[in-house]
Amino acid sequence: MSSKENEKSLDPNSYLLWSPEPGHNVNVGPEQAPFVLPQIPLPVHPAALDEGDPSADEIGQGVYDYLRQFPDCPHNVAYAELLRDAYPHFLSDLGAQILMLDHKEVDSYYIRRKITYMKILALLDGNNPGLLQRLGIEYYNLSQMFAEFGECRQHLIKSMAYFHRILKLQSDNLAVLNYLAEIDYLFGDYPVAIGRWQHVIANLENGPARQALTEKVEMLTAEGTPEYPLIDDYEQIGFAMECYGRGEIAEAATALDIIEERGKFTAAFPCPEFYYLLGMCRSKNGEQGGAFEALEKSLDLDPDYTLALEAKNRILEEGRA
């Protein structure tokens, strides 16, 4: 079984909560120094209790594995402190894992893992602006991944929470203000987004970044109050993906057709995956001409998009994607 499959198979029932007696200590580290365990339930793997109390190593491994699965669990801060004080090698391993994931292919699974590991470190250093900023950015990046559109709103809310924590520490952090403005824009709060971007522009040197933001502010100012927030389109795409997965092709196609007709999402975020999904829906509905057109648009945006190219070729060869 791969490590990816193994992690997915774990759940709270894979652990038992063991409560040490008051004053129970274990010997930890290379010097086997005595350490008094906290008086809280500690998660351990069931096999650790086969012969009585778990060993020091089994306690550390259980807490580490559990926290990587459930970083928002009860006693999470105490568990992180236990690792820091008695099992620091596990925190070193977390750091190494984060560095490794930084070099992985961009994929929502790996971003989620990275977020989990950074959240554990943040339990011990909750006022570290660099760590908080990375968490906010990773949640924002997750929200912009096509496969995550169904949970886009939740990801953005979490991203905002981390960014607002940073502003309490660094009120003039331009990168954070820019991300918050982008989130305000997605939620349709143009006045707040414009105000944040104007502040960023005022503190940028002349150059492409300042020019791009200036043009965006001018566009939003001219547009005025939006008819609907862009995040609605994200969520509708997420709904369409769910329908497609359930075989409800007509419902999926209708949702995507509406988004394409309105044109707001496709203009703001050219997305080859959107047109590929639209093409597949149309093909399964017997609309091969419309499917071919959608797949062509997908390939215009990404000529190397293999799925769209294969679907287009199937229409040419077999009459359907």
Q: Where are the domains positioned within the chain? A: 3-86, 125-223, 233-318
**For 176-189, what is each residue's pLDDT tens digit?**
999 999 999 999 99
Report CA-CA distances (Å) from 66 to 1, 171, 230.
19, 35, 37
DSSP H or E stretch at residue 16: strand 16-18
Is a pLDDT exceeding 90 seen at residue 10?
Answer: no
Q: Judge if 125-223 and 233-318 fold alike in CATH terms.
A: yes
Report CA-CA distances (Å) from 24 to 2, 15, 27, 40, 229.
36, 20, 11, 12, 56
Is a pLDDT exceeding 70 seen at residue 4?
Answer: no
The pair of structure tokens assigned to 303 is 């000529």
Closest CA to 83 of 117, 108, 114, 45: 117
Q: Which amino acid is at 19?
A: S
**For 71-107, what is each residue's pLDDT tens digit?**
999 999 999 999 999 999 999 999 999 999 888 777 8
CATH assignment of 125-223, among 3.40.630.30, 3.40.1280.10, 1.25.40.10, 3.30.390.50:
1.25.40.10
Report the chain's mean pLDDT, rounded to a whole number. 93
Closest CA to 64 of 121, 128, 13: 121
**For 122-177, what is each residue's pLDDT tens digit?**
999 999 999 999 999 999 999 999 999 999 999 999 999 999 999 999 999 999 99
Is a pLDDT exceeding 50 seen at residue 46?
Answer: yes
Kindly state the average pLDDT of the residues 273-302. 96
What residues have CB less than 8 Å from 75, skipping those under 6 apart? 40, 41
Kindly state the average pLDDT of the residues 253-259. 97
- What topology does CATH give the domain 233-318? 1.25.40
Kindly state the average pLDDT of the residues 224-231. 94
> CA torsion sign, 53 to 54 to 60 to 61?
negative
Report CA-CA distances (Å) from 166 to 152, 214, 265, 268.
21, 25, 30, 28
